[in-house]
Amino acid sequence: MSTSIAARPRPAAARTGPIAWARANLFNTWWSTALTLALGYLILRGAWAFLDWGVIHAIWQVPQGPKGPNTDICRAAAGTGACWAVIGEKYRFILFGFYPYAQQWRPAIVIALFIALYCISANRRFWRKELALIWIAAMVLIGILMWGGVFGLTLVTESQWGGLPITLILATFALALAFPLAVLVALGRRSTRLPAVKLLCVMYVELIRGVPLITLLFMASVMFPLFMPNGFDVDKLLRAQVAITLFAGAYLAEVVRAGLQSLPKGQAEAADALGLSYWKKTLLVVLPQALRLVIPPLVNTFIGFFKDTSLVLIIGIFDLLKSGITAVAEPAWQGFGNEVYIVLALIYFAFCFAMSRYSRGLERELDRARRR
Amino acid sequence: MRLSWSDPRLRNLVWQILIIGAVVLAGWYLAHNTNRNLEQRHIATGFGFLGQAASIPIGESLLSYTPSVSTYGRALLIGVLNTLKVAVAGVVLATVLGTLVGIARLSPNWLLSRIAAIYVETVRDIPVLLQLFFWYGLLQTLPPPRAAFHPLPGVFLSNRGVKLPTIAWHAAHFWALVAFLAGCVLVWLIGRAADRRQAATGRRPRTWPTTLAALLGLPILVWLGLGAPLHVDMPALHGFNFQGGISITPEYAALLTGLVVYTATYIAEIVRSGIQAVAAGQWEAAGALGLPRGLVLRRIVLPQALRVIVPPMTSQYLNLVKNSSLAIAIGYQDIVSIADTTLNQTGQSIEGIAIIMAVYLTFSLSISLFMNWYNAHIALVER
């Protein structure tokens, strides 16, 4: 027993607790200490500046003048305080665009339907064939609600649609329509017996992936009318939907192909040995396993489309971003773009962050199941 | 081949002929419609318009350009160069920022790694187009030239963009640049000679004095020998705007900032996962051999991490180049914007879009080829 008390390791209690934690993670070296202090100062200053602008000096409401809202107090506070009144006045326009005011409960239900659809699809209990039926039913219901013209709903044409439903429709319908296409293209690209089909699939995927989405949207807006026989006219929104679907198809095909490649060869060989035909082998053995593997990257690709749908504003479609920008183009509200951008960013962020969180959790779960 | 439906080769052949036939038929149908439509609307075809005078006003250009004198071909070339200007600067800056943030996320300092994580998680979930509008709007709120911010002598920040002083170009600068490139070659040769010495004797000769002399001494000597010309062109306020110096337009600055800030989040994640993919044993083994930390990172960890990093990095570079097409939304005149104006003026939309596609396919292919070459260069050589 010659060890002195000082030489013994310190008891565990002194190595835990907030102070010990801070010492280990914030102040372990002089360099780390300097960094912590500098960053802490910057964060506090930034947070205070934002609080000062966004809460303390912010203006939440403006008085109603004879010609609509009077934004003079917002203008007086410009630079020192945020004008959140613009959101209160304009939120229905930002969310629904030019959709008839009295009918805006319909797109509101559509938004709720989309969110419900995402939640159902995210649940692993619903991962079976019936899910396809749920999707088809939801899409039909969304179409009925948006267009109307039946069941006593007034007809609202696509040119009046706008805001968040457009963003959700473009992204979700692109996924739903591009998915079967992507599976076929991925299978075609993997086929060894059909070289001509393989070449066709490779050309489609590489051509689309090599150019920006905006070229496809331009094609849809200016070239598509030239391709069609005279007098045949398709709405701009539908054309953009076709362009985004073709775009999504190429990217999804690569995701599906990765899933097909990661499946052990033995699965297909075993199906061949049982004498299954190509389609039976593919539908019953290969795809159910391969698609399960690619759900996390599929969700990530979907997040990409969700953000990319904002590009349709360049060809003049009223998506969420465009209606936000239009809301502050009105003279009374000009100059309050940052407030609207923050709210739009929050909406996009809420959707994308929830999906990416989900995809990461799922990836971990599937990984664990595979390793077991 | 038997002429029987049960022969798989015959079946495959028939299917392929049917599918290709359907595609050709559809293509012919579309081409037929297009031809008839073009005739009815009296739209010319072919690329003859490239030689016609273009009446597109172009704000920033690396080549001389006069509206309604210069041709559409020249305007489109300027567009390509403007795209390249954003793409090259964007790729370099996004790589630097992304690598720093990726390393910061692995920092033992909790605050730094949290800030890096929050930056990555928020910025990548917001559409890049919205971010471009935000940056452009922010630059628009800067004061007008007369009240411009003036942080350093010769540097002005206003709603017309950033003004920087520049050195008036002289032939001596060109020769100094040549000398610098020659110095780079020399440094490479010195390094190789040192490697050989080290392999032969086990001792590496001291190279930094010669390296420094070749890199800095040689160009400075050439510059001094040619009379040391140096004239700094300072921007100054004349009337309502600045004259002299070089300027960075708000459109370019907003586009570059937006693309870099957005793409860096993806690059940061790639760099982080690349470094994490290197087993801890590699650090420990190198440490056990007595290598200093910097050398471990440079010689042991980074070469292995690069193998994981390069392939996904390629697709991020491609994304950045493709996202630069969003320039049109904030009024920066890249190839998409100029081709769009061209096709609106000439009505030749098919040719206009074909040009955009050809340009981007060339970019994509070149980047892919270069990165594949680089990837093969750093790949693990397996026996």
Does the structure show a pLDDT above 70 at B123? yes
Residue B126: its chain A contacts at CB < 8 A? 307, 345, 348-349, 352
Q: With bands split at pLDDT 50, 70 and 90, how would you rate the model's confidence at B117? A: very high
| Nearest-neighbour CA in chain A from B35: distance (Å) | 8
Own/partner pairs for A349-358, CB < 8 Å, 24+ apart? A349/B122, A349/B125, A349/B126, A351/A306, A352/A303, A352/A306, A352/A307, A352/B124, A352/B125, A352/B126, A353/B121, A353/B125, A355/A118, A355/A299, A355/A302, A355/A303, A355/A306, A356/A299, A356/A300, A356/A303, A356/B125, A358/A122, A358/A299
Cβ–Cβ < 8 Å for B80, B356: no
Say yes or no: B264 contacts chain A, CB-CB below 8 A: no
Q: Do B122 and A349 touch (CB under 8 A)?
A: yes
State the pLDDT at residue A10: 57
Residue B114 and residue B1 share a domain: no
Domain that holds residue A277: 85-371
In a domain, B61, yes or no: no
* B16 with A338: Cβ contact below 8 A: no
Residues of B with CB below 8 A from A313's CB? 129, 329
In a domain, A52, yes or no: no
Contact across the interface for A223 and B350, Cβ inside 8 Å: yes
**Residue holding tokens 């070339």?**
B77
* Residue A325 sits at the chain B interface (C-beta within 8 Å): yes
Burial classification of residue B235, based on how many CB atoms lie within 10 Å of its CB (0-12 exposed, 13-18 middle, 19 or more buried) = buried
Q: Are residues B38 and B136 in the same domain?
A: no
* Claim to verify: residue B18 and residue B117 sit in the same structural domain: no
How many residues are present in chain B? 383
Helical ranges in A212-336 per DSSP H: 213-218, 224-227, 236-262, 265-273, 278-280, 287-293, 295-308, 320-327
> For position A6, what pLDDT does the model report?
54
Supply the pLDDT for residue A246: 92
- B contact test, residue of A227, A303, A336, A360 with most B CBs within 10 A: A227
Closest Cβ–Cβ partner in B109, B336, B353 for A25: B109
How much is the pLDDT for A316? 84
Residue A154 lies in a domain: yes
Q: Measured between alpha carbons, how far is B373 from B383 in angstroms, rounded to an integer?
A: 20
Give the count of Cβ contacts less than 8 A between chain A and B: 140
Nearest CA in chain B to A198: B16
Please identify among residues 277-306 of chain A the ones whose CB lies closer than 8 Å to any CB of chain B: 303
Residues 6+ apart with CB under 8 A from B239: none
Flag whether B209 is in a domain: no
Coil, strand or helix: which one is B140?
helix
Residue type, A242: V
Residues in A touching B323 (Cβ below 8 Å) = 212
What is the distance between the alpha carbons of residues B20 and A201, in angstroms, rounded to a whole number?
11
Q: Judge whether A132 lies within some domain.
A: yes
Say if residue B235 is in the same domain as residue B145: yes
Of B137, B322, B360, the CB nearest to A337: B137
Searching chain B, which residue's CA lies closest to the CA of residue A349?
B125
Specify the higher pLDDT residue, A72 or B272. Answer: B272
**Phi–psi pair at B362, nearest 5 degrees:** -65, -45
**Cβ-based burial of B197 (10 A; exposed 0-12, middle 13-18, buried ≥19):** middle
pLDDT per residue over B214-267, tens digit each? 888 888 888 888 777 777 777 777 766 777 777 788 889 999 999 999 999 999
Contacts of A193 in chain B (CB under 8 A): 8, 12
- The total number of structural domains in chain A stands at 1
Comparing CA positions, the residue from A219, A241, A234 lying closest to residue A165 is A241
The percentage of residues in chain B with a pLDDT greater than 70, rounded to a whole number, is 97
- Interface contact A307, partner B, CB < 8 A: yes
The CATH code of the domain that includes A176 is 1.10.3720.10
Which B residues in the span 92-111 are in contact with A, Cβ-Cβ below 8 Å?
108-111
SS3 label, residue B285: helix
Q: Which tokens go with A216?
A: 């496809």
Cβ atoms of A26 and B110 within 8 Å: the answer is: yes
Q: Cβ of A344 under 8 Å from any chain B Cβ?
A: yes
In A343-363, which positions are buried (b, 16+ CB within 10 angstroms) versus exposed (e)?
A: bbbebbbebbbbbbebbeeee
A chain contacts of residue B20, beta-carbon cutoff 8 Å: 196, 200
How far is B191 from B185, CA to CA, in rounded Å? 10
A118 located within any domain: yes
Same domain, B85 and B140: yes
Instruction: With respect to residue B212, please indicate whether it lies within any of the assigned structural domains.
Output: no
Contact B130 A353 (CB under 8 A): no
Q: Chain A: nearest CA to B11, how far in angstroms?
A: 10
A-facing residues of B in 121-160 (CB < 8 A) are 121-122, 124-130, 133-134, 137-138
Question: Do the Cβ atoms of A95 and A164 come closer than 8 Å?
Answer: yes
pLDDT number for residue A2: 47
% chain B with pLDDT above 90: 16
What parts of chain A have a pLDDT lower than 70?
Answer: 1-15, 67, 369-372
For residue B66, what is the DSSP state? -
Are B162 and B28 found together in one domain? no
Q: How many domains does chain B have?
A: 2
Q: Express each pLDDT in B331-371 by its tens digit.
A: 888 898 888 888 888 878 888 888 899 999 998 888 888 87
- Determine whether the interchain pair B115/A43 forms a contact, defined as Cβ–Cβ distance below 8 Å: yes
**Domain identity same for B247 and B130:** yes
Give the separation between CA A161 and CA A4, rounded to whole angstroms: 80
Q: Range of B15's domain?
A: 1-42
Collapsing DSSP to helix, strand or coil, A351 comes out as helix
B145, part of any domain: yes
- Whole-number Cα distances in Å, B249 to A104, B66, B139, B163, B311: 42, 19, 10, 9, 33
Mutate to test the interface with A, among B25, B39, B106, B126 (most CBs of A within 10 A): B126
Residues of A (7-26) whose Cβ lies below 8 Å from B: 25-26
Which of A 46-105 lie inside 8 A of B, CB atoms? none
pLDDT of residue B381: 65
Which residue blocks in A148-229 are alpha helix, DSSP H?
Answer: 164-190, 195-210, 213-218, 224-227
> Is residue B259 one of the residues assigned to a domain?
yes
Please give the pLDDT value at position B201.
Answer: 86
One domain, residues B162 and B290: yes
CA-CA distance, A244 to A217, in Å (whole number)?
A: 8
pLDDT in tens, B33-82: 888 877 777 777 777 777 777 777 777 777 777 777 778 888 888 889 99
| Residue A5: per-residue pLDDT | 53
Residues B121 and B24 in one domain: no
Long-range contact pairs involving B365-370 (C-beta distance under 8 Å, separation at least 24): B365/A210, B367/B314, B367/B317, B367/B318, B367/B321, B368/B314, B368/B318
Interface test with A, best of B349, B360, B365 (most A CBs within 10 A): B349
Does residue A74 lie in a domain region?
Answer: no
Task: Give the position of tokens 């704000």.
Answer: B59
**Number of CB atoms found within 10 A of residue B39's CB:** 10
Look at residue B223 in the predicted model and tell me its pLDDT: 82
| CB proximity B349 to A under 8 Å | yes
